[in-house]
Structure 1
Amino acid sequence: MFIAMNRFKVMKGAEADFEKVWLSRESHLDELPGFIEFHLLKGPERDDHVLYASHTIWRSKANFEAWTKSEQFRKVHAGAGATKPLYQGHPEFEGFTVLQTVAQDGTRSVAAE
């Protein structure tokens, strides 16, 4: 599995507008092979911003990379420039390869090398 995250430093007072953009848009993620799950996360508040993160889980890094080159990706991000005043700087991308998964039922799995 592969987890892709973008962190956003949303300016104080712009939280509702930022959330509205994300919660009202069609992501098209479910149209892509290998997509498992998406989360929009709200994190800690700082002096000048509130931290948010988008978090997607993919079956593989290749599935995620295919998403970034897809027509669906272009559609979703077509108006991204219009939201820049809502957050500071560019989103910070972080990608993670899953090495181990522990399930609620106690089962464990380790990624194949």
Structure 2
Amino acid sequence: MYIAMNRFRVKPDCVKEFEQRWLARDVLLRTVPGFVSFQFLRGPAHEDHVLYASHTVWVSHAAFGAWTQSEQFRQAHAQAGRGTVLTIGPPVFEGFDVLQDITASN
């Protein structure tokens, strides 16, 4: 498995609009082979920003790579960088190969 995360430092007065942009968007991930799950995360508030992260789980690094080259990816990111700037700087990408995955037993 592979986890892809983007971290965003959102200006405190832009939190509501940032969340609305994410929550109102078309989700195309379900149509991509190898997609497992997605989480949109709100983290701690700091004086100058609130930390957010997008977190996707993929069956493999190759599946994630295929997503970044797909038409669905182009559609999902077509509006990126347009409109009001809500963040301090660009998102920070972090990718992880999963070495161990422990889940709750049924």
* Shared fold per TM-score greater than 0.5: yes
Q: Which residue of 2 aligns with 1:44?
A: 44
| Corresponding residue number in structure 2 for 1:29 | 29
Identity score, percent: 53
Residue ranges of structure 2 left out of the alignment (5+ in a row) = none
Q: TM-score, normalised by structure 2?
A: 0.96
- Runs in 1 of length 4+ with deviation above 4 angstroms? none
Q: Provide the rounded CA distance (Å) in 2 between the counterparts of 1:51 and 1:84.
A: 18
Gaps of 5+ in 1: 107-113
* Higher RCO (Cα < 8 Å, 6 or more apart): 2
* Residues 10-25 of structure 1 mapped to structure 2, 5 A cutoff: 10-25=10-25
Structure with bigger strand share is 1
Deviation readout 1:22-43 (Å, 9 max, x if unpaired)? 0000120001000000000000
Aligned-partner Cα distance in 2 for 1:26–1:47: 31
- Kindly provide the CA deviation profile for residues 56-91 of structure 1, in whole angstroms up to 9, marking residues without a partner as x: 000000000000010000001011112561001110
Matches of 1:84 and 1:91 in 2, distance apart? 15
Residue pairs, 1:64-75, within 5 angstroms? 64-75=64-75
TM-score (norm: length of structure 1): 0.90
One-letter amino acid of the structure 1 residue matched with residue 52 of structure 2: Y
Corresponding residue SS for 1:13: helix
Partner of 1:96: 96
- Whichever of the two has the greater Rg, that structure is 1
Tell me the SS of whatever aligns to 1:17: helix
Matched residue SS, 1:25: coil
